[in-house]
Structure 1
Amino acid sequence: MNDPASLTVIGHRGARGHAPENTLLALDTGIRLGAHWLEFDVQLADGELWLMHDLSVDRTTGGRGLLTEMDCAEIRALRTGGQDVPTLRDALDLIENRAGVNIELKTWNGCAQAVAGVLREYLADGWPVERFCVSSFHHPELWEFHALLPDVPIGALICGVPLDWAGPAIELGASVLSISSEFVDEKLIADAHERGLKLHVYTVNEPDEMRRLMSLGVDGIFTDYPDRALSLL
């Protein structure tokens, strides 16, 4: 079993419990709260990478429609809880290597290639490769990213437990298997560890559930409230 003190606390969509998700304010809040890593979602629209979770802008902004059908001017006019919709470069410039960065690919329209292109710039500028992780539920897109930039670690996101337990993450060449907390058990954790994988769990906000997962030996927790998880370490 892992030492609970070694748990990686990952701010979900920045620090969604404290600030509008996937905004620079949420990322800055996650850093100030002490999150080890920050997770956020990216989509490719009109040649630019934008931080947004839903394919539609309806839930988080005053706009309507699919982000991928908007141009840059329309997206820049949107507000999420009073905050602009940032680009990937905006986010990385704000973080300035003060936390690890987990980028989730949300679209499959060239998103992997675009993210790889941006990360090459930041790696060339001195960011350590181990401070990045790129993840996705869309495994073909994740596979494409891994082929383009194999040195950057990838994380396989799944919902449910595959027949081969942690096997799909190995097939992708992933370093991390991330799974919904409702499906985590000791056998899956043991299988991931035997295969050399880290096991991260999403999205965990209640301290009792955090304690349970820590006792099982998970390696990391995605949470909207990184301060809650950190207080347990």
Structure 2
Amino acid sequence: MESNNPSREFTVIGHRGARGHAPENTLLGFDAALCLGAHWVEFDVQLHDGELLLMHDLRLERTTNGKGRLDEHTFAQLRTLDAGKGQQIPTLQEALSLIDQRIGVNIELKTWNGTGAAVANVLREVVAQGWPLDKIQVSSFHLPELYEFHDLAPEIPIGVLLCGVPLDWAGCAVELGAGSLNISDEFIDERLIADAHARDLKVFVYTVNHPDEITRMKAIGVDGIFTDYPDRALA
């Protein structure tokens, strides 16, 4: 395939904020991504106790001073936890209020059973208030949940998350009406990139942190990367 098309914009997406510099999925992390110049920021959303919380794991131990499963605690209990450097586990609305359209947001639906519908309700509201559609994307590995979200808010762009290469290459993203494939750096395949671009899809790769790998991603023609170190990708 043709590599490194100079006309193709390379998008730097801060992974869970700027995880290499600040606690992941926190307001402090989003501030760091903004200060470092990231074009977009990515974060994980779970629906629990009627609230949309930013949290990657289903358990609390790795990223907070809490113990057990997130769904074993009330919202009030979860808000007392330290998510790193004194940060609370934020809500989706708090994250959007902080970012305030300054950069794009990639919202990953981390849980199912209503997360997509709840996120759709929030995003329809912020779009009605003026948030541009070209600064929002919703993604998920759980494609049925992503499909449900897209059915409820078809105007909001979506991305299909993959940790492998499907038999139909980028066909699953087309079937869902997605605008991008977001794929693991372990499985990036130049044939997949070519197929996605032929279908007018973008390809974003996660999680790329080493400078050599950042250079390689640019050379093989991907559209952008998710990275814990946005400053490295922008250097």
Please classify the TM superposition score into its range, dividing by the shorter chain length. over 0.9
Q: Is the 8 A contact 1:185 1:216 kept in 2?
A: no
5+ residue gaps, structure 1: none
- Look up the match of 2:58: 55
Q: CA deviation at 1:4?
A: 7.5
- Look up the match of 1:157: 161
Give the residue type in structure 2 aligned to 1:180.
S
Pair 1:176 & 2:176 matched: no
Pair 1:9 & 2:12 matched: yes
- Look up the match of 1:195: 199
Q: Give the % identical residues.
A: 66
Please provide the CA RMSD for this pair: 1.0
Give the residue type in structure 1 aligned to 2:222.
V
- Look up the match of 2:77: 74
Give the residue type in structure 1 aligned to 2:100.
E
**Aligned structure 1 segments of 4 or more residues deviating by more than 4 angstroms:** none
Paired with 1:4 and 1:18, the residues of 2 have a C-alpha distance of: 31
- Look up the match of 2:121: 117
Paired with 2:96 and 2:126, the residues of 1 have a C-alpha distance of: 8
5+ residue gaps, structure 2: none
Paired with 1:225 and 1:31, the residues of 2 have a C-alpha distance of: 12
Give the residue type in structure 2 aligned to 1:185.
D
Q: Is the 8 A contact 2:208 2:225 kept in 1?
A: yes
Secondary structure in 2 matching 1:183: coil
Give the residue type in structure 2 aligned to 1:204.
V
> How many equivalent residue pairs?
231
Paired with 2:7 and 2:219, the residues of 1 have a C-alpha distance of: 7
Q: TM-score, normalised by structure 1?
A: 0.97
Q: CA deviation at 1:147?
A: 0.2
Q: TM-score, normalised by structure 2?
A: 0.96
